[in-house]
Structure 1
Amino acid sequence: MNPRDYRGQGAREPCVGSEYLSAANRARSWNYVKQKGVSMGLGLYDQDVYVVKTAGELLFDGYEDNMVLMGKQLFDASEVPFDRVGWFYTRNNSADLIGHYNVHTGVDDIFKIGSMAEWNYKPRTDFFAGHCGMLNGSAGEFYPPGLTKDVPIQLLYGQEEEVAGIRGYKYAGGPRTVDNGTQFPETACFSAGEIIPSGVLNISSCRFGTPVFMSFPHFYGADEYYLNQVEGLNPDKSKHQLYMTMEPTMGIPLDVAARFQLNIMLESHPNIALYEDVPRTFLPVLWFEQHVTMTPEFSGEIAQALSIPTTARICGIAMLIVGAILIAWTPISRLLAQKRRDAVKDNAGTGHQEKTLLQQNLTAAILVASAPEKDPKLGKTIAEAHPLIECKMVRLADSDNTKS
């Protein structure tokens, strides 16, 4: 919704005068004399239940009104912090009325990332009592990682969807989102004392006492009571449902459609002439949509980030396999090396034995050559007593003959 699209453009349309209704609603708890004073003030300026303005005036530009000027004179400036009337007047490119938000960064607890900690440096608001005034949920930019289908994020899980090639979980607003205690007793603190059918949320305290109620567009999902009061309503899920598609691993919004409708409650005020005969009616004023979808360029970066854990696991498994091979190869390589060393030692020992035996044979041959024919102790010749030496001698003799 771009305010420049509406500024000063369009035909003049009738709309409920919220400033008059706000004055009458605030006077409801006053005494009779003060209420009649408000009634006279409205009659003095010849006001009507409806005002006729352009869309730009009703939304962003605002318009001057004598009741606002009089209110600034009679009440404290903090109670009337504007000089014109407009639903979003002074809110364009301004944080003065929106306030300051503090959100968790996830440094201390990753599952708190994006959740709101304070608004205007307070952990709760003054708009609602009890737990309804607490700051719960996210500012919308970030959500905790590791989302699962069975854990709602203030919205209900619907289905899986693919946005720009990224798989995500789609959550949607349901009856509890805008309940006022009718279906869910724990949301009764949002009703501000108004007993009304389900499907609308009383946000009068957020609009300076103006009886404003929030619902889904065209009262989508609300009680039939509201649809029967106004003509031209046609709730359509595809057009009017609030939803958010989240990437569950990283908690990044992929597709968001925030759709809400502002409604004004008209009702009778016996002591204020302008509203003394008005039936209780919830009139839609406007509905808006903020739709954000993931672009293909950014989805590519998301896909790369999502692939990091898988890539890391593959690399980790590969490193484990390589490490196991290296660990197993170390004793095997040592065993093979030891076998090679043993083989070398065995070869060296065999050569030494052969050399020693040859030396012994030579020595024996010399002894035979120099010894007498018979051993005086044995009564035999050396050859008879030592046939092995004789064999060696013969072999040596054969070798000598061959050489000669």
Structure 2
Amino acid sequence: MRPRTSKPVTLGILGLLFVLLGTFLGYYWPILFRRILTQELVLSPTSKSYNAWKNSSAIPITMEFYFFNWTNPNELKIPGKKPILVEVGPYSFVEKREKVNITFNPENSTVSYLQRRFWYFDEKNSKGSLKDNITQLNVVTVSAVHKVRYSSYIMRSSLSYLLSQSPEIHVVRTVDELLFTGYKDVLIDLGKLAGMTDETPPFDRFGWFYTRNGSTDFDGYQNMATGEDDVRNIGLFKFWNHKDTTKYYKSPCNAVEGSAGEFWPPFRTEEDITIFSADLCRPVTYEYERTVYHQGIEGYKYSVGKKTLSNDTKRRYPHEQAKYFEPTTTTEDFFTAEHSGEVIESVEDPDVVNIGQCYCNGECSPMGLINITACRYGAPGFVSLPHFHKADPILRDQVVGVNPDDEKHNFYIVLEPTTGIPIDVAARFQINILLQPSNFVSTFNDVPKIYFPIFWFNLKSGTTDDLAYSLRQMLMLRSIGLYISVAIIILGLLLLLSIPTLYMVKRKREISRIKGKRALASDKKMENIYLDKSNVNDDAHTRADCQLYPKL
């Protein structure tokens, strides 16, 4: 006969197996989840993210333009009078992006492409018409005066004579002309007659987005890491216009580095992030601000701050790399006022480079401005946050009508830290033109020196409800695996804890059974006490008729 297996032993074995299984799953599930996530995030022709990256139709992108209407241009040269600006807009557009000429390079795990962008006017969400007239600084004239300030006497005299025939420093144009249609200007034609150089714009009209709608020329040739070799490299810019450096700044500020802005490595930390901007011809640093929630998803919020807007941002490089850098130079004079802002003490270390100053292009501007003169054909262009947010107060004091608000004017990116997916983006920059007096152009003799606000834009993008739901489901997958492992461990522990309980129950039953036998034996003894056996005939095996009575 086969012996029966003890139930406590069976439960002990099952409990131990469940504990081991749950521990194994809890330890290896994050590793498995990371591997699955990595495979899903890597950019390839077969990945889920490829179609959304190739064509942004499924992702809503809006571009809002706000113009500063100059209401008192005739008072520019009156001492004590400041330009009065009135913000108008938004003029809203729907933006679509499309990647073309896509080439995957498996030998170095990169992808090369050109980007085409389209803008479609959204009249419903706009406050105004594209036919609205806007009075603004004459950017073409101001740029021409700025560019010839070091030219020959003949060039400067010719420009001075030409501008004396049309002395207006402001223009009145429609929103459409200022943005996409452009407008003719005699100085543009004269510039072409003077001969094409690197600083001669290849346009026959002026407009901030003239010829950009549907063009692939402005964003340039881009080469980005796909993350196939290492997911930590996904989205990193490798080459821009076939080079890993630019011609606009000295080393090390000429490096092409940072993200392309669409893909980020997963498992983020609170460290700064960097994006290479083709419009600014340089990388831009975003600093961790705080943890926020967007559509029920936890995200890390990064925003543009002092590390991008300051002229005194230092960075340490490996010595073998830093010793080849060109020394940065700057002229520290700007107006006669002292600039506010945090001053970082000088570090006597040859490997520490003041990268803030090597973006100055000569004369450093106040805190809050990014000099883009070098990559905009020599025009005195400066980028800031809208309404000079986070900038030196001296910039706001020069004009009337700018009122910075962090909620409206901050430039931020919110990344989901586990996947690195951008869930909320608000790209906000303001375009300013440096207006300054000129000794050789009579029209500009008495003008004040002002970083003149022209317009600012607000590019908004983020996850749709469907994408947010899918992202939440994917993030729940990580938690579900951990919950299951914990549940299995708890079940195993309960099975193990049930063993002593079973022993106690069995022990109680055994004790009860023994007590029952003792009680039965005691009852039989009591019967013997009262039973009269004197007349019992054992031989006849018959029962005598006897009566129970107590013995005396």
TM-score range (shorter-chain normalised) is: 0.7 to 0.9
Pair member with larger Rg = 1
Report if the CA contact (8 A) 2:357-2:364 is conserved: no
Which amino acid counterpart does residue 185 of structure 2 have in structure 1? D
SS state at 1:37 partner: helix
Map of 2:234 onto structure 1: 113
Separation in 2, partners of 1:37, 1:290: 41
Q: More deviation in 264-273 or 222-231?
A: 264-273
Q: TM-score, normalised by structure 1?
A: 0.74
Map of 1:25 onto structure 2: 146
Match of 2:417 among 233, 245, 248: 248
Larger relative contact order (CA 8 Å, sep ≥ 6): 2
Map of 1:142 onto structure 2: 263
Report if the CA contact (8 A) 1:57-1:86 is conserved: yes
Report if the CA contact (8 A) 1:99-1:119 is conserved: yes
After TM superposition, give the deviation of residue 177 of structure 1 in Å. Answer: 2.0
Report if the CA contact (8 A) 1:8-1:57 is conserved: no
Map of 1:169 onto structure 2: 300
Report if the CA contact (8 A) 1:220-1:236 is conserved: yes
Which amino acid counterpart does residue 72 of structure 1 have in structure 2? K
Separation in 2, partners of 1:11, 1:150: 44
Map of 2:322 onto structure 1: none
1:63-95 Cα distance to aligned partner (Å, 9 max, x none): 011111121222217633111101111111211
Match of 1:284 among 445, 453, 466: 453
Report if the CA contact (8 A) 1:192-1:202 is conserved: yes
SS state at 2:263 partner: coil
Match of 2:407 among 238, 255, 264: 238
Q: More deviation in 253-262 or 68-77?
A: 68-77
After TM superposition, give the deviation of residue 8 of structure 1 in Å. Answer: 7.3
Separation in 1, partners of 2:162, 2:272: 53
1:274 correspondence with 2:462: no
* Structure 1 unpaired stretches of 5+: 323-404
* Structure 2 unpaired stretches of 5+: 1-62, 64-92, 94-118, 275-284, 313-340, 345-353, 492-552
Report if the CA contact (8 A) 1:163-1:294 is conserved: no
1:189 correspondence with 2:358: yes
Report if the CA contact (8 A) 2:308-2:356 is conserved: no
After TM superposition, give the deviation of residue 9 of structure 1 in Å. Answer: 2.1
Map of 1:55 onto structure 2: 175
1:243-302 Cα distance to aligned partner (Å, 9 max, x none): 111100110001110111011110111112221221111110000010112222101111
Report if the CA contact (8 A) 1:180-1:202 is conserved: no
Match of 1:102 among 194, 206, 223: 223
Change (3 A) 1:47 1:103: farther
Report if the CA contact (8 A) 2:303-2:410 is conserved: yes
Change (3 A) 1:117 1:218: same
Separation in 2, partners of 1:47, 1:97: 33
Report if the CA contact (8 A) 1:215-1:263 is conserved: yes
Q: More deviation in 310-319 or 230-239?
A: 310-319
Separation in 2, partners of 1:88, 1:179: 28
Map of 2:502 onto structure 1: none
Report if the CA contact (8 A) 1:178-1:214 is conserved: no
After TM superposition, give the deviation of residue 186 of structure 1 in Å. Answer: 2.4
Change (3 A) 1:85 1:5: farther
Kindly report which structure 2 residues correspond to 1:347-358, keeping only aligned pairs within 5 A, or say none.
none
Aligned length: 322
SS state at 1:52 partner: strand
Identity %: 37
Separation in 2, partners of 1:151, 1:87: 31
Match of 2:392 among 220, 223, 227: 223
Separation in 2, partners of 1:159, 1:295: 22
Which amino acid counterpart does residue 303 of structure 2 have in structure 1? A
RMSD between superposed Cα atoms in Å: 2.5
1:137-195 Cα distance to aligned partner (Å, 9 max, x none): 21211111111124555212121111111111111111222223485632111111123
Separation in 1, partners of 2:242, 2:364: 32
Q: TM-score, normalised by structure 2?
A: 0.55
Separation in 1, partners of 2:479, 2:143: 58
